[in-house]
């Protein structure tokens, strides 16, 4: 594995770091308290190509690789994990399936606005009875002439309150099980599509997460992603890339936690002399480096798959997300512990990192799902 970053990759990382420090970090604590969506921040990130990192320049994207994407996402997430997931969902879960499974009309219609920050995207797969078992979709799509009519309720849609475009999964033929699911790119402003209740969560408060309600929503057949019945595979392929994004988000959280813990020990020599405490930070710092290597390996494999369609990256993505998410939780837990009572204060960075880290073990497939994917790659069924 060649880890030497190209000049372009390093420049993109440096640009993301500069924006993360100057634009993303300053309001992060406030947005966590108020749940304000990072709208203005996204406009600046869009101008730097961070909302459509891998999208072809023909559609307004930055036309960069997945390695550049994870480098940027770690920087953004280190400053604000909620902004990290907003950016990750827009890139991985919305732009990717529209570009790779959508027809030309859908690409032209949706991608430029998703890349330039006019719209942010949402991914509508999870339902009250379809979480880990994503094939148990209750939402339906009924063909009517040149359109489909969509009905159903989606939950925990990141960006749901703010999005202008969504990717929706729905049953077109229940008798076919997961081969009866189809995917659609949907204009959030179309009649019959609206955000429902905001989801109140323990962390990642600024992500505008909500229900998404589809009531007699008419979607042109030209906005279907892939063939009818391909929806489950579209979802799984998309989530392979999404998991690399969440691994990068987890790296950002873990790095912020390790930096905070180390600075605290250095600034408090009484504590800092404790070898037990030093070792706890050393372990977290080592896991962070290992998680970054796994994430870069997954990104490199995804980049290879763009040149050679026979290359798969499901296992690499699952291993990166599994390890990076658990690293983020351990590093954030250590930061709270090392800071003592001050680390538990509502205004403390350690406390925010602790709350923000947990969901990385859950969304885009729980740690248990990642282990299922890895086990399947080892031949277990």
Give catalytic residue positions: 364
Cα dihedral 82→87→89→90 (10° resolution): 140
Among 79, 162, 195, 239, binds ligand CAA (CB under 6 A): 239
- Which stretch, 2-10, 20-28, 72-80, 126-134, contacts ligand CAA (CB under 6 A)? 126-134
Minimum separation from the CB atom of position 340 to ligand CAA (A): 33
Q: From 20-28, 40-48, 229-237, 347-355, give the range in contact with ligand CAA by CB under 6 A.
A: 229-237
The Cα–Cα gap between 217 and 5 comes to 46
Shortest spacing between CB 117 and ligand CAA, in angstroms = 18
Distance CA(335)–CA(264), nearest Å, equals 9
- Rule CB under 6 A: is residue 172 a binding residue for ligand CAA? no
Taking the C-alpha atoms of residue 203 and residue 205, their distance in angstroms, rounded to an integer, is: 5
- Using CA atoms, how far apart are residues 193 and 200, in angstroms rounded to an integer? 21
Going from the C-alpha of 138 to that of each of 48, 107, 151, 170, 286, the distances in angstroms are 39, 27, 9, 7, 44
What would the x/- binding string for ligand CAA be over residues 254 to 283, using CB under 6 A?
A: ------------------------------
Q: 315-335 burial, b for 16+ CB within 10 Å, e for fewer?
A: bbbbbbbbbbbbbbbbbbbbb
Q: Count CB neighbours of 375 within 10 A.
A: 13
Dihedrals φ, ψ of 148, to 5°?
-120, 150
Considering only residues 308 to 367 of the shown chain, the ones binding ligand CAA according to CB under 6 A are: 314, 363-365
Q: How far is the CB of 181 from ligand CAA (least distance, A)?
A: 10
Dihedrals φ, ψ of 312, to 5°?
-110, 155
CA dist., res. 79 & res. 22, Å (int): 10
Can you say whether the dihedral through the CA atoms of 321, 325, 326, 328 is positive or negative?
A: positive
Instruction: Return the closest-CA partner of residue 113 out of 187, 48, 168.
Output: 187
First-to-final CA distance of the chain: 29
Stretch that binds ligand CAA, among 73-81, 266-274, 322-330, 368-376 (CB under 6 A): 368-376
Binding range to ligand CAA, per CB under 6 A, among 97-105, 130-138, 279-287, 331-339: 130-138
Site for ligand CAA in 61-100 (CB under 6 A): 89
When binding is defined by CB under 6 A, the residue of 68, 77, 91, 158 that contacts ligand CAA is 158
Instruction: Between 6 and 132, name the residue whose CB sits nearer to ligand CAA.
Output: 132
- Kindly write out the interface string for residues 173-192 of this chain, putting x where it contacts ligand CAA by CB under 6 A and - elsewhere: -----x--------------
Determine, following the binding rule CB under 6 A, whether residue 232 of this chain makes contact with ligand CAA: yes
Based on CB atoms, which residue is closest to ligand CAA, 13 or 92? 92
Q: Find the binder of ligand CAA among 50, 86, 125, 253 (CB under 6 A).
A: 125
Segment contacting ligand CAA (CB under 6 A): 131-139, 140-148, 279-287, 346-354? 131-139
Stretch near ligand CAA under the rule CB under 6 A, chosen from 25-33, 67-75, 228-236, 278-286: 228-236
For residue 236, state whether it binds ligand CAA (rule: CB under 6 A).
yes
Closest CA to 206 of 345, 17, 79: 79
Of 86, 162, 284, 373, which lies in the binding site for ligand CAA, with binding defined by CB under 6 A? 373
State which of residues 12, 59, 110, 123 lies at the interface with ligand CAA (CB under 6 A).
Answer: 123
Residue 59: its H or E element: none
- The yes or no reply on residue 124 touching ligand CAA (CB under 6 A) is no
Closest CA to 71 of 207, 245, 239: 245
Across-strand partners of 165?
A: 121, 187
φ, ψ at 223 (rounded to 5°): -100, 10
Q: Which of 271, 372, 374, 377 binds ligand CAA (CB under 6 A)?
A: 372
Chain CA centroid to CA 368, Å: 18
Count residues near ligand CAA (CB under 6 A): 24
Q: Does 237 bind ligand CAA (CB under 6 A)?
A: yes
Residue ranges binding ligand CAA (CB under 6 A): 89, 123, 125-126, 132-135, 156, 158, 178, 232-233, 236-237, 239-240, 314, 363-365, 369, 372-373
């Amino acid at each position: 594995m060649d880890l030497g970053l190209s000049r372009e990759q390093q420049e993109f990382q440096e640009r993301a770091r500069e924006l993360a420090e100057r634009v993303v970090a300053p309001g992060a604590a406030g947005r966590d308290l108020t749940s304000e969506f990072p709208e203005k921040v996204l406009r600046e990130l869009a101008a730097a190509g961070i909302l459509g990192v891998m999208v072809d320049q023909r559609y307004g994207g930055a036309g960069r690789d997945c390695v550049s994407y994870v480098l940027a996402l770690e920087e953004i997430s280190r400053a604000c994990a909620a902004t990290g997931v907003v950016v990750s969902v827009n890139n991985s879960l919305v732009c990717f399936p529209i570009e790779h499974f959508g027809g030309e009309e859908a690409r032209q219609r949706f991608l430029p606005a998703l890349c330039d920050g006019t719209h942010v995207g949402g991914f509508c797969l999870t339902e009250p009875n379809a979480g880990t078992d994503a094939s148990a979709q209750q939402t339906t799509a009924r063909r009517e002439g040149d359109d489909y009519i969509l009905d159903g309720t989606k939950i925990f849609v990141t960006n749901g309150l703010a999005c202008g475009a969504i990717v929706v999964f729905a049953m077109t033929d229940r008798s076919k099980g997961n081969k009866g699911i189809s995917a659609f790119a949907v204009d959030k402003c179309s009649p019959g599509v609206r955000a429902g209740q905001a989801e109140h969560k323990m962390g990642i408060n600024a992500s505008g997460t909500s229900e998404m309600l589809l009531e007699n929503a008419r979607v042109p057949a030209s906005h279907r992603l892939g063939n009818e019945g391909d929806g489950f595979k579209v979802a799984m392929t998309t989530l392979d890339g999404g998991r690399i994004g969440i691994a990068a988000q987890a790296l950002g959280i873990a790095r912020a936690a390790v930096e905070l813990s180390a600075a605290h020990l250095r600034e408090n020599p009484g504590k800092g002399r404790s070898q037990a405490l030093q070792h706890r930070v050393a372990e977290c710092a080592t896991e962070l480096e290992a998680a970054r290597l796994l994430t870069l390996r997954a990104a490199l494999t995804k980049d290879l798959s763009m040149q050679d369609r026979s290359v798969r990256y499901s296992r690499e993505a699952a291993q990166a997300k599994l390890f990076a998410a658990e690293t983020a939780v351990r590093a954030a837990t250590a930061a709270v512990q090392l800071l003592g009572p001050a680390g538990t204060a509502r205004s403390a960075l350690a406390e925010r990192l602790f709350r923000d880290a947990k969901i990385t073990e859950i969304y885009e497939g729980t740690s248990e799902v990642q282990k299922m994917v890895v086990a399947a790659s080892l031949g277990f069924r």
